[in-house]
Chains A and B, each alone.
Chain A
Amino acid sequence: MRRLPGGTPRSREQVYRWAFVVPALVYIALFFAFPVVKNVVMGFQDYTTASFYTGEAPFVGLRNYRTIFADPQFWPSVLHTGLFTVGSIVGQFTLGLAMAVFFRRRFPLSTILRSLLLLPWLLPVIVSTALWRSLMDQDAGAINVVLKSLGVVDTGIPWLSSPSVALLSVIIVNIWIGIPFNVAILYGGLQDIPEELYEASSVDGAGPWRTFWSITWPLLRPTVTVVVLLCVIYTLRSIDIILGLTRGGPANSTQTLPTASYFQSFQQFQFGLGAATSNVLIVVAFVFALLYLRATRRSLTD
């Protein structure tokens, strides 16, 4: 048997090498693979609290899916999930990009300002929802107080208490939470664009707008793809923002697929229905995950 330096036989060395990775693989199997498989299976079962006592969860074919698709709240939840995701991404990305481009200029304090900017993203989401609930309070919240004193509105806007405004409010809060992440990643992408290109462009007399569209945007495209896809994936699955701000209300106007699944499983104890709803979410997330992997394949496995 060939021996490696250190005196370990080669085959045993191989085993030891795998020993470094095995705990991680076991963890992933238990806390990611198993839950996904179990959730898919539960989607075909009549799984309720009774199942916990009797240990029985009869298979019911597609009944859970027929039930959720027939639920009048299902398609509105899909729509809210879509609006919440698109609205959040558009806001986070455009504001994040504008700020990243701004911070690219060199000026005093820019590094420290850029790090402090991360704060909203580092706070626990539940904390952010608590403070925005106080800001968005209809009667005494700071936003309405300011708007009223400026004469913009006569009566306070029912940010979180009106079904027609609540989803927009939830999106505004999610934009606030997501801006720092967008700035951080996009700023990183901007740093990779060679300075000479900007110098050349300025010698050619191109204005800032022209420079942005002819240099910054095309060269930033790979980073843009990654940041947008990541944010879509994280927004699709987010649940704490909505539960913290509105608990899906008022009148289900902010109910999304993850919150609907939560209520089915953990409030109505219909785990089969909750699983079916979140399986729809898995399919959607999977599509974006594939797009993300296609975009990052090379950098990931380098």
Chain B
Amino acid sequence: MTRSLRARRVRSTRDAVIGVLLLVLLLFPVYWMVNLSVQSSGSNLASSLFPTEIHLDGYRAAIADQSRNLATSLIVSLSSVVLTLVIAVPAAYALAQFRLRGLNAILLILAVTQMIPGIVVANSLYSAYNDLGLLNTTVGLVAADASHSIPFAILLIRTAMQGVPPAVLEAARLDGAGLFRAFRSIAVPIARNGVITAALFSFLFTWSDFIFALTLTTTDTLRPVTLGIYTYLGADQTDWSAVMATSVLASLPAIVLLLVAQRYIAAGASGGSVK
């Protein structure tokens, strides 16, 4: 018995070591990004495995060139979260709790929308936005970016809303709560985790958006950081420390959320049809 226990302990330690090595290998590119971001500026890519000296030239250049773009990304992403939740939370509630006619059709449509190629949407929106004067506007970009997250958020929050016991809602209604009141004070708090997960992912989806930034903005007055990096990469001489410093800054939301909101991120990742 003790021998098998020890064998099991040896095996699990060995598995943990393999797991750590695997992670180191897979995350090496991310480490390398950080390493290059603190090299002295220029197009030089050669670097030792660990930074021998910390240079902040890259960050200085990144902040000089990209702070405005980072602010744009932040504003657009936060607005997109708000728009997503305003549209998705009530819809998810209704699709979970009301017996609506055409419910299955709506659910199928939601699943299909996530498969429509972004270039198709961009192609059509460009001309529509041009007619409506929405190119290069925050409103236009936010509305388009929310398409990355609204169907996903509805399906994810709907699952959470299905956990709301109908009896509790009925009791509230009998106590005189209106339809909206029952939704807001009972269903939303119970489905809270689903709502948070959806909010975090809609932030990340919009923050990562590239296709709409590329096609629906044409000037540098409204330029999200993803497009800022793309522009950097298109330059004749790449200033790698600036590119990598900007990339580190653009990775912060994902890294921070993965560390502080791990539970929600893991829930969203296994929540099915994502991204």
**Chain A residues near B (Cβ < 8 Å):** 4-8, 13, 16-21, 23-25, 27-28, 31-32, 34-36, 38-39, 42, 47, 51-52, 99, 102-103, 105-110, 112-135, 137, 139-142, 145, 176, 179-181, 184-185, 187-188, 226, 230, 233-234, 236-237, 239-240, 243-244, 247, 258, 261-262, 265-266, 271, 274-275, 278-279, 281-282, 285-286, 288-289, 292-293, 296, 300-301
Contacts and interface: CB of A to CB of B under 8 A. Distances in A.
Contact of A281 (B32, B117, B243): B117
A35 B127 CA distance: 10
Contacts of A233: 115
Interface in B1-34: 11-13, 15-16, 18-20, 22-23, 26-27, 29-30, 32-33
Given A28-B113, A110-B19, A135 B32 contact: yes
Contacts of B207: 124
B145 to A, nearest CB: 10
B193 interface: no
Contact of A122 (B26, B174, B176, B258): B258
Nearest to B227: A126
Nearest to A179: B26
Given A24-B150, A119-B27, A134 B211 contact: no
A184 B270 CA distance: 6
Contact of A39 (B11, B123, B183, B233): B123
16 contacts: A6-B176, A20-B98, A21-B95, A31-B143, A105-B15, A107-B13, A113-B22, A130-B233, A131-B32, A135-B32, A142-B32, A226-B272, A239-B211, A275-B123, A275-B124, A296-B273
B29 A130 contact: no
Most B CB contacts (10 A, CB to CB) among A102, A131, A233 go to A131
Contact of A107 (B15, B108, B151, B265): B15
B229 interface: yes
Most B CB contacts (10 A, CB to CB) among A7, A17, A18, A271 go to A17
B130 A52 contact: yes
Is chain B's binding surface mostly helix, strand, loop or mixed? helix
A45 B20 CA distance: 56
A118 B269 contact: yes
B116 A282 contact: yes
B111 interface: yes
Is chain A's binding surface mostly helix, strand, loop or mixed? helix
A278 B154 contact: no
A241 to B, nearest CB: 10
The 9 closest A-B pairs by CB, nearest first: A24-B91, A20-B94, A35-B124, A140-B45, A124-B208, A237-B117, A107-B15, A122-B254, A38-B124
B51 interface: no
B215 A293 contact: no
A39 B46 contact: no
A141 to B, nearest CB: 6
A20 B91 contact: yes
Given A23-B90, A133-B233, A266-B126, 19 more contacts: A8-B178, A17-B98, A21-B95, A24-B150, A24-B154, A27-B146, A28-B150, A31-B146, A39-B120, A106-B12, A115-B262, A116-B23, A122-B258, A122-B265, A130-B243, A140-B44, A176-B29, A243-B230, A274-B119
Nearest to A116: B23
A99 B29 contact: no
Contacts of A115: 258, 262, 265-266
Contacts of A133: 233
B240 interface: yes
Contacts of A107: 11-13, 15-16, 19
Given A115-B262, A278-B123, A31 B179 contact: no
Most A CB contacts (10 A, CB to CB) among B19, B22, B86, B113 go to B19
Contacts of A123: 30, 208, 251, 254
A271 B127 contact: yes
B116 A36 contact: yes
Nearest to B73: A124
B127 A51 contact: yes
